[in-house]
Amino acid sequence: MPMHFDNTYAHQLEGFYAPWQGDDVPEPRLLKLNTDLADELGLDSEWLSSERGVRALCGAENPDGGFPLAMAYAGHQFGNFSPQLGDGRAILVGEILSPNGKRHDLHLKGSGATPFSRGGDGKAGVGPVLREYLIGEAMHALGVPTTRALAAVSTGEQIARETPQPGAVLARVAASHIRVGTFQFFAARGEQDRIRTLADYTIARHFPDVQESASPYLELLKSVSNAQARLVSQWMLIGFVHGVMNTDNTTASGETIDYGPCAFMERYDPRTVFSSIDLQGRYAFGNQPAIAQWNLARFAETLLPLIDASEQRAIEEASAVITDFNSLYETHWLAGMRRKLGLHTAREEDLQLCNELFEALSGTERDFTRFFRGLSDCWRGHGSTCEDNSALANWHQQYVLRAGAEEVPDDERAKGMDRVNPLYIPRNHKVEEALSSALEDDLAPFEKLLKVLSTPFDERPGCESYTQPAPPGSGRYRTFCGT
Ligand code: AMP
Ligand code: MG
Protein backbone atom coordinates (compact mmCIF):
# COMPACT_ATOMS: atom_id res chain seq x y z
CA MET A 1 0.00 0.00 0.00
CA PRO A 2 1.39 3.40 -0.91
CA MET A 3 0.06 5.02 2.28
CA HIS A 4 -0.11 3.31 5.65
CA PHE A 5 -3.00 4.61 7.66
CA ASP A 6 -3.81 4.11 11.31
CA ASN A 7 -7.12 5.88 11.79
CA THR A 8 -7.70 6.44 15.49
CA TYR A 9 -10.09 9.39 15.13
CA ALA A 10 -12.39 7.38 12.86
CA HIS A 11 -12.26 4.29 15.03
CA GLN A 12 -12.28 5.73 18.54
CA LEU A 13 -14.51 8.75 18.06
CA GLU A 14 -17.61 7.54 16.30
CA GLY A 15 -20.25 10.25 16.56
CA PHE A 16 -17.67 13.03 16.28
CA TYR A 17 -17.78 13.18 12.49
CA ALA A 18 -19.66 12.27 9.33
CA PRO A 19 -18.01 9.67 7.05
CA TRP A 20 -17.61 11.56 3.79
CA GLN A 21 -16.04 11.25 0.34
CA GLY A 22 -14.39 14.08 -1.56
CA ASP A 23 -15.84 15.16 -4.91
CA ASP A 24 -14.65 13.74 -8.17
CA VAL A 25 -13.05 16.49 -10.24
CA PRO A 26 -12.66 16.88 -14.01
CA GLU A 27 -8.93 17.34 -14.41
CA PRO A 28 -6.72 16.94 -11.36
CA ARG A 29 -3.21 18.28 -11.90
CA LEU A 30 -0.39 18.44 -9.39
CA LEU A 31 0.68 22.06 -8.96
CA LYS A 32 3.22 21.33 -6.26
CA LEU A 33 4.30 18.37 -4.20
CA ASN A 34 6.27 18.81 -0.99
CA THR A 35 8.78 16.01 -1.59
CA ASP A 36 10.78 16.83 1.56
CA LEU A 37 7.67 16.44 3.67
CA ALA A 38 6.65 13.31 1.76
CA ASP A 39 10.08 11.83 2.63
CA GLU A 40 9.65 12.78 6.27
CA LEU A 41 6.27 11.04 6.32
CA GLY A 42 7.66 7.97 4.61
CA LEU A 43 5.45 8.54 1.54
CA ASP A 44 6.58 7.71 -1.95
CA SER A 45 6.72 10.94 -4.00
CA GLU A 46 6.67 9.00 -7.22
CA TRP A 47 3.37 7.37 -6.29
CA LEU A 48 1.97 10.68 -5.02
CA SER A 49 2.75 12.20 -8.44
CA SER A 50 1.05 9.35 -10.31
CA GLU A 51 -2.50 9.63 -11.58
CA ARG A 52 -3.90 7.70 -8.62
CA GLY A 53 -1.71 9.59 -6.19
CA VAL A 54 -2.91 12.96 -7.46
CA ARG A 55 -6.53 11.78 -7.35
CA ALA A 56 -5.97 10.73 -3.72
CA LEU A 57 -4.37 14.10 -2.91
CA CYS A 58 -7.46 16.00 -4.07
CA GLY A 59 -10.09 13.66 -2.63
CA ALA A 60 -11.35 12.38 -5.99
CA GLU A 61 -10.36 8.88 -4.95
CA ASN A 62 -10.01 7.26 -1.57
CA PRO A 63 -6.55 5.74 -1.05
CA ASP A 64 -6.47 2.19 0.31
CA GLY A 65 -6.70 2.27 4.08
CA GLY A 66 -8.15 5.80 4.22
CA PHE A 67 -11.34 6.54 6.15
CA PRO A 68 -12.43 9.92 4.83
CA LEU A 69 -14.63 11.93 7.15
CA ALA A 70 -15.77 15.47 7.90
CA MET A 71 -15.17 16.50 11.50
CA ALA A 72 -17.83 18.14 13.64
CA TYR A 73 -16.93 21.31 15.52
CA ALA A 74 -18.43 24.53 16.73
CA GLY A 75 -16.70 27.81 17.44
CA HIS A 76 -16.72 31.39 18.59
CA GLN A 77 -16.28 33.46 15.47
CA PHE A 78 -15.35 37.06 16.28
CA GLY A 79 -16.75 36.47 19.74
CA ASN A 80 -20.11 35.02 18.63
CA PHE A 81 -20.87 31.38 19.20
CA SER A 82 -21.86 29.18 16.24
CA PRO A 83 -22.94 25.79 17.59
CA GLN A 84 -22.40 24.04 14.27
CA LEU A 85 -19.46 24.72 11.96
CA GLY A 86 -17.49 21.59 11.12
CA ASP A 87 -15.45 20.68 8.06
CA GLY A 88 -17.50 22.49 5.46
CA ARG A 89 -14.92 22.16 2.75
CA ALA A 90 -12.44 19.66 4.07
CA ILE A 91 -12.07 16.00 4.86
CA LEU A 92 -9.74 14.04 7.06
CA VAL A 93 -8.47 11.22 4.82
CA GLY A 94 -6.77 9.38 7.65
CA GLU A 95 -3.77 9.33 9.97
CA ILE A 96 -0.27 8.51 8.86
CA LEU A 97 2.52 7.37 11.15
CA SER A 98 5.84 8.70 9.93
CA PRO A 99 8.97 6.53 10.21
CA ASN A 100 9.96 8.45 13.36
CA GLY A 101 6.69 7.35 14.98
CA LYS A 102 4.89 10.70 14.83
CA ARG A 103 1.18 10.68 14.00
CA HIS A 104 -0.16 13.07 11.36
CA ASP A 105 -3.60 13.85 10.01
CA LEU A 106 -3.80 13.92 6.24
CA HIS A 107 -6.46 16.51 5.53
CA LEU A 108 -7.81 17.94 2.28
CA LYS A 109 -9.16 21.46 1.98
CA GLY A 110 -11.42 22.33 -0.95
CA SER A 111 -12.51 18.73 -1.62
CA GLY A 112 -16.23 19.51 -1.90
CA ALA A 113 -19.34 20.18 0.14
CA THR A 114 -20.02 18.09 3.25
CA PRO A 115 -22.92 17.82 5.71
CA PHE A 116 -21.30 20.81 7.49
CA SER A 117 -21.14 23.16 4.51
CA ARG A 118 -24.08 25.37 5.52
CA GLY A 119 -24.71 26.46 1.95
CA GLY A 120 -21.03 26.90 1.04
CA ASP A 121 -19.69 25.16 -2.08
CA GLY A 122 -16.96 23.24 -0.24
CA LYS A 123 -14.36 24.41 -2.74
CA ALA A 124 -11.12 26.37 -2.63
CA GLY A 125 -9.30 28.42 -5.26
CA VAL A 126 -5.76 28.04 -6.62
CA GLY A 127 -4.73 31.42 -5.14
CA PRO A 128 -5.71 30.77 -1.50
CA VAL A 129 -4.43 27.17 -1.69
CA LEU A 130 -0.99 28.27 -2.87
CA ARG A 131 -1.04 31.07 -0.31
CA GLU A 132 -1.58 28.60 2.53
CA TYR A 133 1.17 26.41 1.03
CA LEU A 134 3.67 29.29 0.99
CA ILE A 135 2.93 30.77 4.38
CA GLY A 136 2.67 27.43 6.17
CA GLU A 137 6.04 26.35 4.78
CA ALA A 138 7.55 29.72 5.69
CA MET A 139 6.26 29.33 9.25
CA HIS A 140 7.71 25.84 9.46
CA ALA A 141 11.10 27.09 8.29
CA LEU A 142 10.88 29.89 10.88
CA GLY A 143 10.49 27.22 13.56
CA VAL A 144 6.82 27.91 14.34
CA PRO A 145 4.58 24.88 15.02
CA THR A 146 2.22 24.65 12.06
CA THR A 147 0.19 22.44 9.78
CA ARG A 148 2.16 21.83 6.58
CA ALA A 149 1.26 21.57 2.94
CA LEU A 150 1.90 18.19 1.37
CA ALA A 151 0.51 19.10 -2.04
CA ALA A 152 -1.53 21.57 -4.05
CA VAL A 153 -3.69 20.07 -6.80
CA SER A 154 -5.70 22.09 -9.31
CA THR A 155 -9.00 20.46 -10.13
CA GLY A 156 -9.79 21.75 -13.61
CA GLU A 157 -13.00 23.26 -12.24
CA GLN A 158 -13.97 26.89 -12.20
CA ILE A 159 -15.39 27.93 -8.85
CA ALA A 160 -17.87 30.73 -8.30
CA ARG A 161 -16.29 33.64 -6.46
CA GLU A 162 -16.51 37.40 -7.07
CA THR A 163 -15.06 36.47 -10.44
CA PRO A 164 -14.79 32.78 -11.41
CA GLN A 165 -11.57 31.22 -10.12
CA PRO A 166 -9.71 28.02 -10.95
CA GLY A 167 -10.37 25.45 -8.23
CA ALA A 168 -7.75 23.60 -6.19
CA VAL A 169 -7.33 21.34 -3.20
CA LEU A 170 -4.68 21.67 -0.53
CA ALA A 171 -3.47 18.44 1.04
CA ARG A 172 -2.06 19.30 4.42
CA VAL A 173 -0.76 17.44 7.41
CA ALA A 174 -1.25 18.34 11.05
CA ALA A 175 -0.46 16.85 14.44
CA SER A 176 -4.26 16.69 14.66
CA HIS A 177 -7.31 18.78 13.86
CA ILE A 178 -8.71 18.81 17.39
CA ARG A 179 -9.78 22.35 18.11
CA VAL A 180 -11.23 24.23 21.06
CA GLY A 181 -14.32 24.29 18.84
CA THR A 182 -14.43 20.47 18.77
CA PHE A 183 -14.95 20.48 22.54
CA GLN A 184 -17.46 23.31 22.23
CA PHE A 185 -19.57 21.35 19.74
CA PHE A 186 -20.33 18.66 22.34
CA ALA A 187 -20.42 20.99 25.33
CA ALA A 188 -23.12 23.06 23.60
CA ARG A 189 -25.20 19.88 23.28
CA GLY A 190 -24.64 18.87 26.89
CA GLU A 191 -22.90 15.66 25.79
CA GLN A 192 -20.67 15.22 28.82
CA ASP A 193 -19.68 11.65 28.01
CA ARG A 194 -18.38 12.74 24.64
CA ILE A 195 -16.38 15.62 26.15
CA ARG A 196 -14.70 13.07 28.39
CA THR A 197 -14.03 10.73 25.46
CA LEU A 198 -12.57 13.62 23.44
CA ALA A 199 -10.49 14.85 26.39
CA ASP A 200 -9.10 11.34 26.97
CA TYR A 201 -8.34 11.00 23.27
CA THR A 202 -6.59 14.40 23.20
CA ILE A 203 -4.52 13.54 26.25
CA ALA A 204 -3.47 10.18 24.79
CA ARG A 205 -2.60 11.73 21.45
CA HIS A 206 -0.88 14.97 22.49
CA PHE A 207 -0.11 14.97 26.19
CA PRO A 208 0.41 11.35 27.27
CA ASP A 209 2.44 12.45 30.30
CA VAL A 210 -0.74 13.81 31.83
CA GLN A 211 -2.47 10.42 31.80
CA GLU A 212 -1.11 9.41 35.19
CA SER A 213 -1.91 12.71 36.87
CA ALA A 214 -4.43 12.86 39.71
CA SER A 215 -6.28 15.65 37.85
CA PRO A 216 -5.71 14.86 34.16
CA TYR A 217 -8.33 17.29 32.80
CA LEU A 218 -6.91 20.27 34.66
CA GLU A 219 -3.49 19.18 33.40
CA LEU A 220 -4.91 18.99 29.87
CA LEU A 221 -6.05 22.59 30.20
CA LYS A 222 -2.59 23.58 31.45
CA SER A 223 -0.89 21.72 28.62
CA VAL A 224 -3.00 23.31 25.89
CA SER A 225 -2.55 26.68 27.58
CA ASN A 226 1.21 26.23 27.52
CA ALA A 227 1.21 25.09 23.89
CA GLN A 228 -0.86 28.12 22.86
CA ALA A 229 1.26 30.51 24.95
CA ARG A 230 4.36 29.24 23.23
CA LEU A 231 2.75 29.38 19.79
CA VAL A 232 1.39 32.90 20.07
CA SER A 233 4.68 34.14 21.55
CA GLN A 234 6.37 32.84 18.40
CA TRP A 235 3.90 34.71 16.20
CA MET A 236 4.59 37.89 18.14
CA LEU A 237 8.35 37.49 17.77
CA ILE A 238 8.16 37.41 13.95
CA GLY A 239 5.37 39.89 13.30
CA PHE A 240 2.77 37.32 12.23
CA VAL A 241 -0.90 38.31 12.30
CA HIS A 242 -3.13 35.22 12.13
CA GLY A 243 -6.21 37.27 11.39
CA VAL A 244 -8.95 34.81 12.35
CA MET A 245 -8.24 33.49 15.85
CA ASN A 246 -11.69 32.00 16.26
CA THR A 247 -11.97 29.09 18.68
CA ASP A 248 -12.48 26.72 15.72
CA ASN A 249 -9.03 27.78 14.52
CA THR A 250 -7.38 27.18 17.91
CA THR A 251 -5.77 23.75 18.07
CA ALA A 252 -5.21 21.58 21.12
CA SER A 253 -1.80 20.62 19.71
CA GLY A 254 -0.58 24.23 19.63
CA GLU A 255 -0.01 24.26 15.88
CA THR A 256 -0.92 27.23 13.71
CA ILE A 257 -3.90 26.30 11.57
CA ASP A 258 -5.91 27.92 8.77
CA TYR A 259 -3.90 30.43 6.84
CA GLY A 260 -6.83 32.42 5.51
CA PRO A 261 -6.45 36.14 6.10
CA CYS A 262 -3.06 35.98 7.84
CA ALA A 263 -0.11 38.18 6.85
CA PHE A 264 3.19 39.49 8.18
CA MET A 265 3.39 42.99 9.56
CA GLU A 266 5.95 45.33 8.02
CA ARG A 267 6.02 48.62 9.97
CA TYR A 268 5.67 47.84 13.67
CA ASP A 269 2.20 48.76 14.89
CA PRO A 270 0.31 46.65 17.44
CA ARG A 271 -2.98 47.74 15.82
CA THR A 272 -2.04 46.06 12.53
CA VAL A 273 -5.00 44.27 10.93
CA PHE A 274 -5.11 42.83 7.41
CA SER A 275 -8.41 40.97 7.30
CA SER A 276 -11.12 42.84 5.44
CA ILE A 277 -13.79 41.57 7.86
CA ASP A 278 -11.96 42.38 11.12
CA LEU A 279 -13.52 45.83 11.34
CA GLN A 280 -13.06 46.24 15.11
CA GLY A 281 -9.46 45.03 15.10
CA ARG A 282 -10.34 42.12 17.41
CA TYR A 283 -7.51 40.06 15.91
CA ALA A 284 -4.98 42.88 15.56
CA PHE A 285 -1.30 41.99 16.03
CA GLY A 286 -1.10 43.30 19.59
CA ASN A 287 -4.35 41.62 20.69
CA GLN A 288 -3.25 38.09 19.85
CA PRO A 289 -2.05 37.02 23.31
CA ALA A 290 -5.24 38.31 24.97
CA ILE A 291 -7.38 36.56 22.36
CA ALA A 292 -5.51 33.29 22.87
CA GLN A 293 -6.28 33.61 26.57
CA TRP A 294 -9.95 34.32 25.81
CA ASN A 295 -10.09 31.22 23.60
CA LEU A 296 -8.54 29.12 26.37
CA ALA A 297 -11.22 30.36 28.76
CA ARG A 298 -13.83 29.01 26.30
CA PHE A 299 -11.90 25.70 26.29
CA ALA A 300 -11.84 25.66 30.10
CA GLU A 301 -15.62 26.08 30.21
CA THR A 302 -16.10 22.86 28.27
CA LEU A 303 -13.90 20.96 30.76
CA LEU A 304 -15.41 22.25 34.03
CA PRO A 305 -17.58 19.18 34.77
CA LEU A 306 -14.53 16.96 34.26
CA ILE A 307 -12.23 19.07 36.41
CA ASP A 308 -14.21 18.78 39.63
CA ALA A 309 -17.64 17.56 40.70
CA SER A 310 -18.00 20.81 42.60
CA GLU A 311 -18.64 23.52 40.00
CA GLN A 312 -17.31 26.16 42.36
CA ARG A 313 -13.99 24.34 42.80
CA ALA A 314 -13.74 23.57 39.10
CA ILE A 315 -14.19 27.25 38.26
CA GLU A 316 -11.53 28.28 40.78
CA GLU A 317 -9.00 25.79 39.48
CA ALA A 318 -9.65 26.52 35.81
CA SER A 319 -9.61 30.29 36.39
CA ALA A 320 -6.19 30.00 38.01
CA VAL A 321 -4.88 28.29 34.86
CA ILE A 322 -6.37 30.98 32.63
CA THR A 323 -4.84 33.71 34.78
CA ASP A 324 -1.48 31.93 34.63
CA PHE A 325 -1.56 32.14 30.85
CA ASN A 326 -0.28 35.73 31.15
CA SER A 327 2.90 34.76 32.92
CA LEU A 328 3.39 31.66 30.76
CA TYR A 329 3.07 33.77 27.66
CA GLU A 330 5.43 36.39 29.03
CA THR A 331 8.02 33.75 29.92
CA HIS A 332 7.98 32.31 26.38
CA TRP A 333 7.97 35.72 24.76
CA LEU A 334 10.76 37.11 26.93
CA ALA A 335 12.93 34.07 26.30
CA GLY A 336 12.38 34.63 22.57
CA MET A 337 13.13 38.33 22.85
CA ARG A 338 16.40 37.59 24.64
CA ARG A 339 17.39 35.37 21.74
CA LYS A 340 16.43 38.09 19.26
CA LEU A 341 18.53 40.62 21.19
CA GLY A 342 21.41 38.20 21.62
CA LEU A 343 21.17 38.20 25.41
CA HIS A 344 22.66 35.07 26.90
CA THR A 345 21.58 35.61 30.50
CA ALA A 346 18.29 36.60 32.10
CA ARG A 347 17.95 39.74 34.16
CA GLU A 348 14.98 41.22 35.90
CA GLU A 349 15.12 44.46 33.92
CA ASP A 350 14.97 42.70 30.52
CA LEU A 351 11.20 42.98 30.28
CA GLN A 352 11.45 46.73 30.67
CA LEU A 353 14.20 46.90 28.07
CA CYS A 354 11.95 45.04 25.62
CA ASN A 355 8.91 47.16 26.37
CA GLU A 356 10.96 50.31 25.86
CA LEU A 357 12.15 49.02 22.52
CA PHE A 358 8.59 48.56 21.27
CA GLU A 359 7.58 51.98 22.57
CA ALA A 360 10.47 53.54 20.67
CA LEU A 361 9.75 51.48 17.54
CA SER A 362 6.07 52.36 17.42
CA GLY A 363 6.85 55.97 16.69
CA THR A 364 8.89 55.08 13.60
CA GLU A 365 8.36 53.73 10.10
CA ARG A 366 10.86 50.95 10.72
CA ASP A 367 10.20 47.55 9.18
CA PHE A 368 9.86 45.02 12.01
CA THR A 369 11.81 42.21 10.33
CA ARG A 370 14.61 44.39 8.97
CA PHE A 371 15.00 46.19 12.29
CA PHE A 372 15.70 42.99 14.21
CA ARG A 373 17.89 41.54 11.48
CA GLY A 374 19.94 44.75 11.43
CA LEU A 375 20.46 44.72 15.17
CA SER A 376 23.36 42.29 14.97
CA ASP A 377 25.31 44.81 12.83
CA CYS A 378 26.56 46.69 15.87
CA TRP A 379 28.29 43.52 17.13
CA ARG A 380 30.14 43.30 13.85
CA GLY A 381 31.49 46.81 14.21
CA HIS A 382 29.08 48.21 11.62
CA GLY A 383 27.58 50.77 13.97
CA SER A 384 23.99 51.09 15.06
CA THR A 385 20.93 51.28 12.82
CA CYS A 386 19.18 53.35 15.50
CA GLU A 387 21.15 56.59 15.24
CA ASP A 388 18.65 58.63 13.24
CA ASN A 389 15.90 58.42 15.86
CA SER A 390 16.51 59.76 19.36
CA ALA A 391 14.19 57.35 21.19
CA LEU A 392 15.72 54.37 19.42
CA ALA A 393 19.25 55.72 19.84
CA ASN A 394 18.62 56.02 23.59
CA TRP A 395 17.27 52.53 23.72
CA HIS A 396 20.24 51.24 21.77
CA GLN A 397 22.69 52.75 24.24
CA GLN A 398 20.97 50.91 27.09
CA TYR A 399 20.90 47.74 25.04
CA VAL A 400 24.61 47.83 24.30
CA LEU A 401 25.36 48.39 27.99
CA ARG A 402 23.11 45.51 29.03
CA ALA A 403 24.37 43.05 26.43
CA GLY A 404 27.98 44.20 26.58
CA ALA A 405 28.10 43.39 30.31
CA GLU A 406 27.92 39.70 29.37
CA GLU A 407 31.12 37.94 28.49
CA VAL A 408 30.09 36.84 25.05
CA PRO A 409 32.32 37.34 22.00
CA ASP A 410 30.72 39.87 19.65
CA ASP A 411 30.80 37.62 16.59
CA GLU A 412 29.22 34.75 18.49
CA ARG A 413 26.44 37.07 19.65
CA ALA A 414 25.88 38.39 16.13
CA LYS A 415 25.72 34.89 14.66
CA GLY A 416 23.23 33.74 17.28
CA MET A 417 20.99 36.73 16.56
CA ASP A 418 21.02 35.98 12.83
CA ARG A 419 19.84 32.46 13.56
CA VAL A 420 16.60 33.75 15.09
CA ASN A 421 15.95 37.06 13.30
CA PRO A 422 14.87 36.11 9.78
CA LEU A 423 16.03 37.89 6.69
CA TYR A 424 13.30 36.45 4.48
CA ILE A 425 9.62 36.38 5.42
CA PRO A 426 6.62 35.99 3.09
CA ARG A 427 6.27 39.66 2.28
CA ASN A 428 2.77 40.51 1.16
CA HIS A 429 3.69 42.02 -2.20
CA LYS A 430 5.94 39.05 -3.00
CA VAL A 431 3.22 36.59 -2.08
CA GLU A 432 0.73 38.46 -4.28
CA GLU A 433 3.21 38.56 -7.15
CA ALA A 434 3.75 34.79 -6.90
CA LEU A 435 0.01 34.09 -6.76
CA SER A 436 -0.87 36.32 -9.73
CA SER A 437 1.78 34.60 -11.86
CA ALA A 438 0.51 31.19 -10.73
CA LEU A 439 -2.98 32.15 -11.90
CA GLU A 440 -1.41 32.88 -15.29
CA ASP A 441 0.11 29.38 -15.23
CA ASP A 442 3.60 30.62 -14.39
CA LEU A 443 4.66 28.91 -11.18
CA ALA A 444 8.28 30.10 -11.35
CA PRO A 445 7.85 33.06 -8.93
CA PHE A 446 5.97 30.78 -6.50
CA GLU A 447 8.78 28.21 -6.65
CA LYS A 448 11.44 30.87 -6.18
CA LEU A 449 9.66 32.46 -3.23
CA LEU A 450 9.09 29.05 -1.64
CA LYS A 451 12.78 28.28 -1.98
CA VAL A 452 13.87 31.61 -0.49
CA LEU A 453 11.48 31.12 2.44
CA SER A 454 12.73 27.61 3.12
CA THR A 455 15.96 28.97 4.65
CA PRO A 456 14.88 32.30 6.11
CA PHE A 457 17.99 32.99 8.17
CA ASP A 458 20.73 32.43 5.57
CA GLU A 459 21.65 35.36 3.39
CA ARG A 460 22.01 34.41 -0.27
CA PRO A 461 23.08 36.48 -3.24
CA GLY A 462 20.36 37.34 -5.73
CA CYS A 463 17.64 37.45 -3.07
CA GLU A 464 17.89 41.11 -2.03
CA SER A 465 14.44 41.98 -3.35
CA TYR A 466 12.90 39.48 -0.90
CA THR A 467 14.21 41.48 2.06
CA GLN A 468 12.51 44.72 1.06
CA PRO A 469 9.18 45.99 2.35
CA ALA A 470 6.36 46.74 -0.10
CA PRO A 471 7.28 49.60 -2.42
CA PRO A 472 6.11 53.03 -1.24
CA GLY A 473 2.57 53.81 -2.36
CA SER A 474 1.51 50.14 -2.30
CA GLY A 475 -1.39 51.08 -0.02
CA ARG A 476 -2.79 49.10 2.84
CA TYR A 477 -2.65 45.33 2.34
CA ARG A 478 -6.02 43.56 2.64
CA THR A 479 -6.73 39.87 3.05
CA PHE A 480 -9.89 37.78 2.78
CA CYS A 481 -11.35 34.79 4.67
CA GLY A 482 -12.83 31.58 3.32
CA THR A 483 -11.92 32.30 -0.31
P1 AMP B 1 -12.31 29.11 8.03
O2 AMP B 1 -12.54 30.57 7.94
O3 AMP B 1 -11.62 28.50 6.84
O4 AMP B 1 -11.70 28.68 9.32
O5 AMP B 1 -13.78 28.45 7.98
C6 AMP B 1 -14.80 28.67 8.93
C7 AMP B 1 -15.94 27.72 8.67
O8 AMP B 1 -16.53 27.98 7.38
C9 AMP B 1 -15.54 26.26 8.64
O10 AMP B 1 -16.59 25.50 9.16
C11 AMP B 1 -15.36 26.00 7.15
O12 AMP B 1 -15.47 24.64 6.83
C13 AMP B 1 -16.48 26.83 6.56
N14 AMP B 1 -16.21 27.22 5.17
C15 AMP B 1 -15.33 28.15 4.71
N16 AMP B 1 -15.38 28.24 3.37
C17 AMP B 1 -16.31 27.34 2.94
C18 AMP B 1 -16.82 26.93 1.66
N19 AMP B 1 -16.38 27.48 0.53
N20 AMP B 1 -17.76 25.98 1.64
C21 AMP B 1 -18.22 25.41 2.76
N22 AMP B 1 -17.79 25.73 3.99
C23 AMP B 1 -16.84 26.69 4.10
MG1 MG C 1 -10.99 27.09 10.14
**What average pLDDT is seen over the chain?**
97
Ligand 1 contact, 123 CB (< 6 A): yes
**Averaged pLDDT for residues 452-458:** 98
Percent of the chain with pLDDT over 70: 100
- Quick one: average pLDDT of 164-176? 98
Q: Which residues are catalytic?
A: 248
The verdict on residue 468 lying in a domain is: yes
Shared domain check, 157 and 12 = yes
Give residue 216's pLDDT: 98
Mean pLDDT, range 184-189, rounded to an integer:
98
Whether 120 is in the pocket of ligand 1, judged by its Cβ within 6 Å, is yes
Same domain? For 62 and 94 the reply is yes
Do residues 143 and 234 touch, judged by C-beta distance below 8 A?
yes
Report d(CA 28, CA 153) in Å as an integer. 6
Determine if ligand 1 sits within 6 Å of the CB of residue 258.
yes
Instruction: Write out pLDDT tens, residues 398-413.
Output: 999 999 999 999 999 9
Which ligand is located closest to the Cα atom of residue 88? Answer: 1
If one counts the domains in the chain, the total is 3
Is there an atom of ligand 1 within 6 Å of 89 CB?
Answer: yes
122: Cβ below 6 Å to ligand 1?
Answer: yes
Q: State the residue range of the domain holding 321.
A: 214-326
Local confidence band at 66 (pLDDT 50, 70, 90 cut-offs): very high
Q: Are residues 31 and 119 in the same domain?
A: yes
Are residues 34 and 66 located together in one domain of the fold? yes
Average pLDDT value for residue range 349-372: 96
In terms of domains, do 316 and 377 share one? no
Pocket test for ligand 1, best of 23, 78, 82, 89 (most atoms within 8 A of CB): 89
Residues 309, 456, single domain; the answer is no
Mind listing the pLDDT tens digit for each residue in 80-90?
999 999 999 99
Phi/psi of residue 453, nearest 5 degrees: -75, -15
* Tens digit of each residue's pLDDT (9 = 90 or more) over 260-315: 999 999 999 999 999 999 999 999 999 999 999 999 999 999 999 999 999 999 99
State the distance from the centre of ligand 2 to the C-alpha of 257, rounded, in angstroms: 7
Q: Is residue 206 part of a domain?
A: no
Ligand 1 atom 3 nearest Cα: 482
Q: Does the pLDDT of residue 134 top 70, yes or no?
A: yes
The verdict on 78 and 151 lying in the same domain is yes
Find out whether the beta carbon of 86 lies less than 6 Å from any atom of ligand 1: yes
Q: Ligand 1: does its nearest atom lie under 6 Å from the Cβ of 481?
A: yes
Residue 431 has pLDDT above 80, yes or no: yes
Q: Which atom of ligand 1 is nearest to the CA of 124?
A: 19
CA distance 154 to 256: 24
Question: Which residue lies with its CA nearest to atom 7 of ligand 1?
Answer: 85
Beta carbons within 8 Å of 303's beta carbon, 6+ residues apart = 183, 195, 199, 217, 218, 220, 221, 318
Residue ending a domain, choose from 150, 177, 204: 177
Query: Which ligand is nearest to the Cα of residue 74, counting in written order?
Result: 1
Q: What pLDDT is attached to residue 383?
A: 84
Q: Kindly state whether residue 201 falls inside one of the protein's structural domains.
A: no
Residue 360: which of 328, 383, 385 has the closest Cα?
Answer: 385
Average pLDDT score over residue span 173-200: 98
Q: Give a yes or no: residue 335 inside a domain.
A: no
What is the 307 CA–ligand 2 centroid distance (Å)?
27
> What 3 state SS string does the chain have?
CCCCECCHHHHHCCCCEEECCCCCCCCCEEEEECHHHHHHHCCCHHHHHCHHHHHHHCCCCCCCCCCCEEECCCEEECCEEECCCCCCCEEEEEEEECCCCCEEEEEEECECCCCCCCCCCCEEEHHHHHHHHHHHHHHHHCCCCECEEEEEEEEEEEECCCCCEEEEEEEEEECCCCEHHHHHHHHHCCCHHHHHHHHHHHHHHHCHHHHHCCCHHHHHHHHHHHHHHHHHHHHHHHCEECCCCCHHHCECCCCECCCCCCEECCECCCCCCCECCCCCCCCCHHHHHHHHHHHHHHHHHHHHHHHCCCHHHHHHHHHHHHHHHHHHHHHHHHHHHHHHHCCCCCCCCHHHHHHHHHHHHHCCCCEHHHHHHHHHHHHHCCCCCCCCCHHHHHHHHHHHHHHHCCCCCHHHHHHHHHCCCCCCCCCHHHHHHHHHHHHCCCCHHHHHHHHHHHCCCCCCCCCHHHHCCCCCCCCCCCECCCC
pLDDT at residue 268, rounded to an integer:
97
Q: Please give the Cα distance from 165 to 40 (Å, whole number).
A: 33
388 domain residue, yes or no: yes
From 326, 350, 385, the end of a domain falls on: 326
Give residue 1's pLDDT.
72
* Distance from residue 88's CA to the centre of ligand 2 (Å): 9
For residue 193, being part of any structural domain is answered with no
Is there a single domain that holds both residue 153 and residue 26?
yes
Q: Is the pTM of this model over 0.75?
A: yes
Longest dimension (CA), the chain: 66
Does the pLDDT value for residue 483 go beyond 70?
no
121 lines ligand 1 (CB under 6 A): yes
Domain limit, last residue, from 148, 177, 206: 177
User: What pLDDT, on the 0 to 100 scale, is given for residue 474?
Assistant: 87
Q: Say if residue 363's pLDDT is above 70.
A: yes
| 103 and 219, same domain (yes or no) | no
What does the pLDDT read at residue 481?
Answer: 81
Q: Ligand 1 center to residue 50 CA distance, Å?
A: 29
Please tell me whether residues 317 and 347 are part of one structural domain: no
> 412 alpha carbon to ligand 1 midpoint, in Å?
47
Q: What's the rounded Cα separation, in Å, for the pair 178 and 175?
A: 9
Query: Based on the domain organization, do 145 and 224 belong to the same domain?
Result: no
Q: How far apart are CA 225 and CA 465, in angstroms?
A: 38
Q: At what angle do helices 428-439 and 444-454 cross, to 10 degrees?
A: 150
Number of other CB atoms surrounding residue 7 within 10 Å: 18
| Protein residue with least CA distance to atom 11, ligand 1 | 88
CA 231 to ligand 2 center in whole angstroms: 17
> Residue 348: what pLDDT?
96
Q: Do the domain assignments include residue 423? A: yes
Measured CA to CA, the distance from residue 106 to residue 3 in angstroms comes to 10
Same domain, 268 and 355: no
